[in-house]
Amino acid sequence: MKPRVLVSREVFDETLEMLAEHFEVESNQADLKHTPEQLAAALADKDGALVSTSDRIDGALLDRCPRLKVVANVGVGYNNLDLPALTAHGVMATNTPDVLTNSVADYTFGLIIATCRRLTEGEHFLRAGEWKGSHLKQMLGVDVHGATLGILGFGRIGQTVARRASGFDMKILYHNRTRLKPAEEAQLGAHYRGKHDLLREADIVVLLTPYSAESHHTIGAAEIALMKPSAVLINVARGGIVDDAALIEALKAKRILAAGLDVYENEPALNPGFLPLKNVVLSPHLASASEPTRKAMAATAARNCIAALTGGEPPNLLNPEVQRKR
């Protein structure tokens, strides 16, 4: 009898075909979000699962899923997975790094330009029929080229954003838990700063840190107060890294110039305080949403699941201690 696998949200047909070569597959192509109770019930008789970052996998769910051997997250972030609980239950957990790096870096620059040059505000102005002709001081933004870019979180995506920034003649500052070697900094043209110094110096601050309990509200009222009044904040990392309520108050009071956001606390429940603000660009978690990238993410998750359930080691294993115990 083939192992049984649940695909919790809609995926591409080729992903299902890949899985079906090895498993009995139950898929949710209607893309209806499971409640925690529904997800636990659906996984109770499954050996593996492809889940989205909106699916919470914790100890309470795992207690009800004795057959489960692998949870393959379709996404690079995995704060929806309780890794200690998965490890305690002997369940392998995987994610999909690398495949979305370039797409997210591209989108980051799109969000930077849209925010600094007021693109969405200008479009709304035009669509509302308010444009009556151009004049010298109309909807002035700030330049991206030549600006000082501060990147908080300097992993694969952060370094790729830095490479993009060199084409805009930007000065690149970064902060990371682990500082790069001098040769690596020189290659990227990047200069290390402490977090507070980076916030003080940067014209544009980009957040690319993973989310965890330790990184919750990395940017709050105190951190925003360190930034220049002319500075722009960009978050393409995870909701919860920014205190959204504090950011809304800062944008209202014009303590910083503007913000560009692709992620939010408690998403998809957006804080309504953002909606009337003209100095924020809002995007519904689209940074990795190119068709080739999303297909690659789903295929990577499928390969992780196949390896885990056919005796191999998943290439993107997050808790290798489970495999070692086996």
Q: Tokens at residue 294, please?
A: 């999303």
Catalytic residue among 34, 238, 294, 303: 238
Catalytic residue among 201, 223, 265, 267: 267
Q: What are phi and psi of 256, to 5 degrees?
A: -130, 165
Extract the runs of DSSP E, i.e. beta strands, from 34-170: 48-51, 70-73, 92-94, 148-152
Q: Distance between CA 12 and CA 275 in Å, rounded?
A: 33
- Most distant CA pair in the chain, distance: 72
Residue 44: CB atoms within 10 A of its CB come to 14
Catalytic residue among 163, 191, 216, 285: 285
Is 238 in the active site?
A: yes
Is 121 in the active site?
A: no
Q: Evaluate whether 151 touches 175 at the Cβ level (below 8 Å).
A: yes
Q: Evaluate whether 309 touches 67 at the Cβ level (below 8 Å).
A: no
Active site residues: 238, 267, 285
